[in-house]
Structure 1
């Protein structure tokens, strides 16, 4: 998320030479906390309800047939459609695509942890059973405040990713190149204090806004 220190927007002229993202030196502060896995309550509830309804209807029809009742019209119609429709039928193709997309979505939900808004932090040595995480928005606020403390910076925007920290700052006075160096150092120190488990790459841009 992008955060601004001031609500007003200026017409800006970007700096000509924007630095490439540089990795921060690693810190030896212990192992990192494991990723938190999202409970996925809504997808799990939807799959459970659909499975229950389909299996319940099929089981009821089978029990009714075993008890001497005629086969349900819906099951007869479904079997007839599947047996007589050609493979290239638009309805079959559409159903296959929908089923494939839903299956892929469920696989992604099952194999990925989610909770991307939480950044894992390092844990002290000997405390592997403990875990600590930092909200991504909180990290952006802390880094933005550190950027605004640099002399010459009037507005700063910081975006924190899992592997990259991007910062853009408006410089009202002083040389933008000088401010950029001090800003990179300030953000570097703040990132060290955050104690993130994965050392991010740091990209800093400065610009002098013009009205």
Structure 2
């Protein structure tokens, strides 16, 4: 009888989990209406953290759609990888027109926004600064620890770089330019790290209301700007539209080719407000609409006043 061989270990890489999560986004909605624009994954032992950026169909209720994508990505990734996947983080980066219209008679209600606290901003993980700082600290502490171990266990002399650094610090005083420049650099580095730790970053994302406390929803400012641009461009007489979306304000500038200027401005304002309301942003944006006529603008035809009945036209002569 042959003894069984020793079983190996299956390791699922971050890249594999990321690609599986991106594929799961396409499977989340019927007819592949959702697509992944970016994804990231981190595997630690038997657990995995997944984050995906998606483009969703428009018009569609944003909150339940994101919740559906989030649940499917979490469940599907865990099923295919065998890992314990935490609730996936979903960020909406674009809104695209739906491929197929909804069947007649089908109604879908949008749940009311949750009363739970929603984060004001989407915090960034600061991977690059943290990685650089960790690498420098690891190299410095590793070199120092290695030299100390060799000195005390191998009875070797201290490394030249360590004795040279101590001699340089002993010779140079606090008031000399090199020491002052080094201190200033350390102070600036400390201020930079403090700013990174207390600011959320990811200024391009706007948080939205979520139906459940465990769900975090954010909309890319570029997607909101594209939505407002398409909404304003559908107004009669509008030639070009420029939209700028900031953290607290959205500005729409439209160029009018023909028609009434005041009426066009009112139509754009109403349509833009409805579009912003559908996004479900936690902090509603202040809307500013400006309509300017083009040099070739054609004004609307003047309406002629009706002639009252019984009025007699003046005679040509006395």
- State the TM-score, normalizing by the size of structure 2: 0.53
Over the aligned positions, Cα root-mean-square deviation in angstroms equals 2.0
- Give the 5 Å matches for 1:11-160: 29-31=113-115, 33-34=118-119, 35-67=121-153, 68-124=155-211, 127-160=212-245
Q: Distance in 2 between matches of 1:116 and 1:104?
A: 20
Number of the residue aligned with 1:163: 248
Deviation at 1:64, TM superposition (A): 2.3
Deviation at 1:163, TM superposition (A): 0.9
Moved over 4 A (4+): none
Deviation at 1:181, TM superposition (A): 2.6
1:180 to 255, 260, 265: 265
Deviation at 1:120, TM superposition (A): 1.2
Q: Secondary structure at the residue paired with 1:58?
A: helix
Q: Which one has more relative contact order, counting CA pairs under 8 Å at least 6 apart?
A: 1
Deviations 1:58-82 (Å, cap 9, x if unpaired)?
1112222223222222122212222
Bigger strand share: 2
- Bigger shift: residues 28-37 or 183-192: 28-37
How many residues are paired up? 182
Q: Distance in 2 between matches of 1:180 and 1:92?
A: 62
Deviation at 1:107, TM superposition (A): 1.9
Q: Which runs of 5+ in 1 are unaligned?
A: 1-27
Which has more radius of gyration?
2
Deviation at 1:169, TM superposition (A): 1.0
Q: Which runs of 5+ in 2 are unaligned?
A: 1-111, 297-318
Number of the residue aligned with 1:205: 290
- State the TM-score, normalizing by the size of structure 1: 0.77
- Bigger shift: residues 88-97 or 158-167: 88-97
Do the aligned residues in 1 keep the contact of 2:122 with 2:206 (CA within 8 Å)?
no
Deviations 1:107-129 (Å, cap 9, x if unpaired)?
222222222222111123xx222
Q: Distance in 1 between matches of 2:256 and 2:176?
A: 63
- Bigger shift: residues 67-76 or 155-164: 67-76
Q: Distance in 2 between matches of 1:168 and 1:50?
A: 48
Deviations 1:167-209 (Å, cap 9, x if unpaired)?
1111112233332232222211111111111111112222223
Number of the residue aligned with 1:192: 277
Q: Distance in 1 between matches of 2:197 and 2:158?
A: 37
Do the aligned residues in 2 keep the contact of 1:33 with 1:133 (CA within 8 Å)?
no
Deviation at 1:153, TM superposition (A): 1.5
